[in-house]
Structure formats: C-alpha cells, structure tokens
Chains A and B, each alone.
Chain A
C-alpha cells in the first residue's frame, strides 16, 4: 500500500504508562475511502490507539502518519481535515445545539457557518432541536448532534469511538446509514472503535483486532469468518478473547 493510498500509517506504535504497555509495537495501515474497525475487549488498547491517532496522546515510540502528515510533528495541519465523535465526550450542556455548532463552525474556520449548520441540521434531522440546550437532549438526540458536529468540517477522516453505544436499535441503524451515506457522498475514511459486532460486519471493509495492546489479527470480516470457521464476528471475537496466549498473525 503506498503512502498516498493510506489514510493512516502506523509503525511500531508503543505507549507505556509507567509499567503498563497500553499499546505494544502496533503496525497497521488504513486505506483511504474505506471503513476500518478497531476491535478488542476492554483494556485492549483501542482507545489509546485512537487517542494517539487524534494527536491528544503522545506515543512512547513509533511513527504515525495521518492523511500523509506526521501526526507527531504536523498535528495542526491534520486536525482541520479530520473529526471525532464519542459518546464519552460531551458538548457543553448549557449551550443550545445551534450555539454549540456555531462555536465549532468557527473553530474549523468554515467559510459559511450558518449555511453549513443548516445543511447538517437537515442531514441529521436536528432542525427542531437547534434551540434546545445540549444537556436536555435524549441519548439518541445527543448522538445525532454529536455526529452533526463531527461532520461540520466534512472530514476526510472520521474517527469514532463506540458510535452507537447506548442507542436503541432503530437509532443505531439510522446512525450507521448516515455514516454509509456520508462515505458514499464524500469518499471519506472511517475508523471506528467498537464492541458491536453487528455494526462491524455491516459497516467495515477491514477489521483490526487488538488484545493486550497488540494487533492479534486483521482482515476483512469475510476473511476472519472463514479463518476462524465461524458464522458471526461475535464468535470470532470470543475465540480471540478467550485464547490464552496470543501469538496470532500481526497485521501489516
């Protein structure tokens, strides 16, 4: 895979917190225009990896290139081109949805903030929520608003941390369709950390499976199902999670 074809290139990534190796020599690439999942149990290193890719956590060692830029030295050239959404990070509760989106539109220095806000409001059906404080929204409404914020700058790379956690199946399905629509329309790259195997099977072209800070397997959902002789990704996940010692193939 050439540098131009890759949205993310990671080489020998390491992150230690005191004696703990949260990420332990990870290497992988994420191709442009695709959807890749980072799978793994709690403490596998997914969030740490995602945080390093976003530039809010510095690695102990290794190299990270995002959209062709070195994330360690040129982070601020990359940040206007990417975005992030997580149910674990909030928008200010007391600000209305419109106020929140206006602030972020200016932070991303969008040329026509009001027009772009109207566009994402229509896209995510949040027009009737615009005057409501962000803290007064239901979980589903908050997710839609967070996604509207995440797509304000039309990111070339969108990173998502458990994007459908705590959503009812209908809302979760709607959210997944929104990602697919966005990707079809813009050719953006999606990287998501998830525990939801249905989501991974439906959305992702590639899967990176992490355990104990390492990538222990990788491939398309179809390849992984075949490799493990299983019917669902959940069974594959359980096989890997319950394997006592991980000497599985490393992704490259």
Chain B
C-alpha cells in the first residue's frame, strides 16, 4: 500500500469508474449526451435536404452539412467531456478528497480525457447510425480519413476542455460557462460549413492556426474531390499536439497554483 507509482492505470481506472457510475445512475446525463447531437442532425439534415433540391453546390455533396455537423459535434463533445468531468468534481465538492488522495494531476487529466472519449462515443455513434436510414447519408463512407478526422477533432476538443478546466480551477465556478461558450468562439473561424477562403484574408491567416480548419477543409476534399487530405491531416495533427501539450501544461500549472492559493478546499457548491 506504500508503493507510489508516478503514473498508475489503476487510479485512472478509479476516476473513469467514478464518472461511469455517475452516468449509469443518471438517465438525464445520458440523454443529454445524445440529445444535442440528435437535434443538430435533424435540423441540418432537413435543411441540407431542402438545399440539395435548390443549390447546385450542395447537390454535389448532400452529406456535406451533415458530415460537418457531426464532426463539429465530435470536437464540441470532446471539449465538454473533459470540462464536465472536472466540473462534476467541483459541483460535488469532491475535489478536496481527491486532492488528498494519491491521485496525481496527470492521472486526473488522463481520466478526464478517457471520459471525454467515452461521452463523445455515447453521443455520436447512435446519431451517426441514425442518419443512415433518415437521410441516406453515412459518415462512415468517408472511410479511413474519418478516423483521422475524429482523432484530430478529439485532440482539439481536449485542448479546449483542459484550458477551460484550468480557468475554472483558477477563477472559480464563475468561469464554468466557458465550457459551452469558448469553443463556439472558434466555430466561425474553423470553416465548418463553408471553405476558409470565404473568410477575409486576415481572418484566414488566423483560421489556419486552428487545427479544425484543416480538418473541415480535408472533409470537403474527400466529399467533393474524393482525394485523401494527407497534408491537412498532418498539419492538423502537428497543431493539435502543440495545443494539447500547452493545455496540459496550463492545467498542471494552475493545479500547482491552486496549491499555492489554497483553492482546493474552498471550491464547491
């Protein structure tokens, strides 16, 4: 009991189990994970069906909006999955207990990322399957690049979610709305529903620093031109790894700062 590994999969498992219990025991949380992706897909599905009949551009790729909606939701859910796992600890006033347990900050981060993946899959897989009978569109036809898109967008979501969690830890629950707000500030720049070239030149320069911009360009490349977006994926991955490393660093630094300022016992409902 006195051995103390620097990184323990068992402690990460404990935290995943903690959130698994929470989700299992709360149908509202479970429903919420599927509800918003479902609503998004329904709204955009019918919109794109209408536009397909009236727009030559869209008629070339009926699924372009649906694909964009679902991939955007992957990033959004990835972000929310991380931030919510952290917020749940604050809402339940459990952070004090966790902070005096042997759980290390990097293990907490790892558990939050794993929970984010689980939450995202719970939300997205049923919706992705639903679009097949509903709109005769399967995102799975994107093939192998879909996996790369998914992985990249999860990394982007994790980076934002960790940054939000760090801000909540530093500035308190007043900052918790950032879990929903911050990522939407990036949406107009990411070229989700339109090419980045639509943006003004100076904004395009900013957009190319955002990994999702490359992913959504890549998605359109697959859908319109049936080309493998190798360059886009590599650039997105490089940017994502940089941002994720920075976000992990920020979270760990704020975690240390919380010990200086005594934030752990004072946070709660």
| Inter-subunit contact A88/B265 (CB<8 Å) | yes
Query: B185 — which chain A residues lie within 8 A by C-beta?
Result: none
Q: Which residue of A lies closest to B21 (CB)?
A: A99
Given contacts A47-B265, A77-B4, contact A94 B94 (CB under 8 A): no
Question: Mask for A91-130, Cβ within 8 A of B = 1, else 0?
Answer: 1111110010011111111110000000000000000000
Question: Mask for B243-269, Cβ within 8 A of A = 1, else 0?
Answer: 000000000000000011110110010
| Inter-subunit contact A107/B14 (CB<8 Å) | yes
Contact residues of B between 70 and 106, Cβ < 8 Å to A: 88, 92-94, 96-104
Contact of B1 among A80, A84, A92, A102 (CB under 8 A): A80
* Count of interface residues, chain A, beta-carbon cutoff 8 Å: 42
| Inter-subunit contact B1/A95 (CB<8 Å) | no
Query: A84 — which chain B residues lie within 8 A by C-beta?
Result: 97, 100
Contact residues of B between 1 and 54, Cβ < 8 Å to A: 1-4, 6, 8, 10-11, 13-15, 17-18, 21-22, 25-26
- Residue A247, interface by CB 8 Å: no
Contact residues of A between 35 and 84, Cβ < 8 Å to B: 47-48, 51, 54-58, 76-77, 79-84
| Inter-subunit contact A108/B25 (CB<8 Å) | no
- Residue A149, interface by CB 8 Å: yes
Query: B15 — which chain A residues lie within 8 A by C-beta?
Result: 103, 107
| Inter-subunit contact B2/A80 (CB<8 Å) | yes
| Inter-subunit contact B18/A81 (CB<8 Å) | no
Query: B102 — which chain A residues lie within 8 A by C-beta?
Result: 76, 79-80, 107-109
Given contacts A80-B102, A106-B13, A109-B11, contact A92 B4 (CB under 8 A): no
Q: Point out which of B11, B96, B97, B265 has the most chain A C-beta atoms below 10 A from its C-beta.
A: B97
Measured between alpha carbons, how far is A247 from B88 in the docked complex, in Å? 46
Contact of B264 among A56, A94, A133, A154 (CB under 8 A): A56
| Inter-subunit contact B96/A56 (CB<8 Å) | yes
- Residue A1, interface by CB 8 Å: no
A200 to chain B, nearest CB (A): 22
A87 to chain B, nearest CB (A): 11
- Residue A86, interface by CB 8 Å: yes
* Count of interface residues, chain B, beta-carbon cutoff 8 Å: 37
- Residue A226, interface by CB 8 Å: no
A74 to chain B, nearest CB (A): 9
Given contacts A57-B262, A58-B259, A86-B96, contact A94 B22 (CB under 8 A): yes
Q: Which residue of A lies closest to B10 (CB)?
A: A109
Measured between alpha carbons, how far is A51 from B258 in the docked complex, in Å? 12
Q: Which residue of A lies closest to B22 (CB)?
A: A94
Query: B93 — which chain A residues lie within 8 A by C-beta?
Result: 89-90
Contact of B11 among A58, A83, A107, A153 (CB under 8 A): A107
Query: B22 — which chain A residues lie within 8 A by C-beta?
Result: 92, 94-95
Contact of B92 among A79, A94, A149 (CB under 8 A): A94
A156 to chain B, nearest CB (A): 9
Q: Which residue of B lies closest to A103 (CB)?
A: B18
Query: B92 — which chain A residues lie within 8 A by C-beta?
Result: 90-94
B72 to chain A, nearest CB (A): 30
Query: B265 — which chain A residues lie within 8 A by C-beta?
Result: 47, 51, 56-57, 88-89
| Inter-subunit contact B21/A57 (CB<8 Å) | no
Q: Which residue of A lies closest to B257 (CB)?
A: A58
Measured between alpha carbons, how far is A95 from B97 in the docked complex, in Å? 15
Measured between alpha carbons, how far is A103 from B259 in the docked complex, in Å? 23
A59 to chain B, nearest CB (A): 10
Query: A149 — which chain B residues lie within 8 A by C-beta?
Result: 97
Q: Point out which of A88, A103, A149 has the most chain B C-beta atoms below 10 A from its C-beta.
A: A103
Measured between alpha carbons, how far is A103 from B100 in the docked complex, in Å? 14
Measured between alpha carbons, how far is A107 from B3 in the docked complex, in Å? 13
Q: With A56-B100, A91-B94 given, name 7 new contacts (CB 8 A).
A: A54-B99, A56-B99, A80-B2, A89-B94, A93-B92, A103-B17, A106-B11
The interface of chain B, by Cβ under 8 A from chain A, is: 1-4, 6, 8, 10-11, 13-15, 17-18, 21-22, 25-26, 88, 92-94, 96-104, 259-262, 264-265, 268
Q: Across the A-B interface, give the 4 residue pairs with the lowest CB-CB distance, nearest first.
A: A106-B14, A89-B96, A90-B93, A92-B92
Selected A-B contacts with CB under 8 Å, 22 pairs: A47-B265, A51-B265, A54-B99, A56-B100, A57-B262, A58-B260, A80-B4, A80-B102, A84-B97, A90-B93, A90-B94, A91-B97, A92-B22, A96-B21, A99-B18, A104-B101, A105-B14, A106-B11, A106-B14, A107-B102, A109-B8, A133-B25
